[in-house]
Structure 1
Amino acid sequence: MRAAICLLAALACASPLPAAAQPALQTPAARKAELDRLFAALAVAPDETAGAAVAMRIRQVWLQQASPAVTLLLRRGQRNLEVEAAADAVEDFDAALTLQPDFPDAWLMRAAALSAMGDMRGAAQDVRQVLVLEPRQFDALALLSRLQEQAGDLHGALRAWEAVLKIHPKIADGEARLRSLRGKVEGQPT
């Protein structure tokens, strides 16, 4: 539950800014070009603060792909998760996916809600769908790492976390988690 709430808190902080402050990228080609530029910047971010700023902008660009109706459903789902109404959140995310099944963040948010409900298998399936739609989705890889660790698949958790670090090398506590997972895989105390 804690990992799901942390993930949703990160996504909630990345809500798109008002149009005047952060213009939406109207075409898929413009979004792709912006994302490519941002991912290049993320890979060379000098520290956690810079990495977090670039990651937030990436999340904002991703969220711009949502239709207005889907955006409302996602916000309502986030609110439901914040008050620990995970089943209601799943309904909201299901509705968002009915409207826009190709939107990775809706899958990711439903994965977090399913995880909060204890449905780790469903959460993992949704995370895999996110990664089919957006292979660079570092939040999905981070959630996958935590799900695999909870399931006892430490090698899988480590591989997923290493994939996170390839995309977002300066993620908060990234190296500490890497050391912890390596220690668990090698059978050493953390």
Structure 2
Amino acid sequence: MTSSLPFDSLFQLVVDLPSRRPSPALPQRLAVLFRELAKPHSEGAADEIEDQIWALWISHEDRAAEEAMAAAIEALGTGALDEAAPLLDDLVSRYPDWPEAWNRRATLASIEQRDADSLEDIKRTLELEPRHFGAIAGFGEICLRHGLLNEARAAFQIALALDPHLEGLREILDDLAPENLMLH
């Protein structure tokens, strides 16, 4: 099963992310926010910066697109996956340069354990927005599901380099440390 999934090419993209530039269509303010996020902060301040990044990622100049994204996010949040799917399919079709549309569709595919589809959408997300710590973490979670511990560890480390305040990832990394794996 694992061999048919595009882990190798996506892993290479993830490893190369620090050298990639985000799409020029993304708000320039994101660069400032990512520099700020990399600094030590209280949990509340870091959460506020993360919230601003997510708000910029889900925003769109087209009001109808924003409303569809909001509806898709709500559907995902309530488990109404059948409602989210057509909204997200339409968003990636109509706005192929919107990284968050691809990321949310990747999330849906991951929830449904359609990992090949999720990986393809994560790839497109990261081609457009190489700083997308959520998509990188999602790649790491799929790697874990397929027993690719080194790839998962690397993905989580890269996500943490972008957002050092993701405590849940830090805990996963601690669990994946070789000395902790020996204990299980």
**TM bucket by the smaller chain?**
0.7 to 0.9
Unaligned residue ranges in structure 2 (runs of 5+): 1-23
Distance, in Å, in 1 between the alignment partners of 2:100 and 2:53 is: 12
Per the TM alignment, residue 48 of structure 1 is displaced from its structure 2 partner at its CA by: 2.9
Cα contact 2:156–2:173 (8 A) shared by 1: yes
Aligned partner of 1:64 in structure 2 is: 59
Contact 1:96 1:106 in 2 (8 A): yes
1:187 is matched with: 181
Query: Per the alignment, do residues 172 and 187 of structure 1 end up closer, same or farther by CA in structure 2, a change over 3 Å counting?
Result: closer
Residue in structure 1 matched with residue 74 of structure 2 by the alignment: 79
TM-score by structure 2 length?
A: 0.79
Residues of 1 paired with 2:54 and 2:153: CA distance?
24
Q: CA deviation at 1:42?
A: 0.4
Count of residue correspondences? 161
How much does 1:43 deviate? 0.4
Give 5+ residue unaligned stretches, structure 1.
1-27
- Percent identity of the aligned residues? 25
Higher mean alpha-carbon deviation, 164-173 vs 175-184, is at: 175-184
After TM superposition, the structure 1 = structure 2 runs for residues 4-19 of structure 1, keeping only pairs within 5 Å, are none
Shift of 1:30: 9.0
TM-score (ref. length: structure 1):
0.76
1:125 aligns with 2:147: no
Q: Which residue identity lines up with residue 27 of structure 2 in the other structure?
A: R
Q: Say if 1:29 and 1:149 are closer, same or farther in 2 by CA, change over 3 A.
A: closer
Q: What is aligned with 2:27?
A: 31
1:170 counterpart residue number: 165
The verdict on how the C-alpha distance between 1:172 and 1:122 changes in structure 2, with shifts beyond 3 A counting, is same
How far apart are the structure 2 equivalents of 1:111 and 1:66? 22
Kindly provide the amino acid, as one letter, of the partner of residue 114 in structure 1: A
Look up the match of 1:4.
none
One-letter amino acid matched to 1:116:
I
Counterpart Cα distance in 1 of 2:27 and 2:75: 29
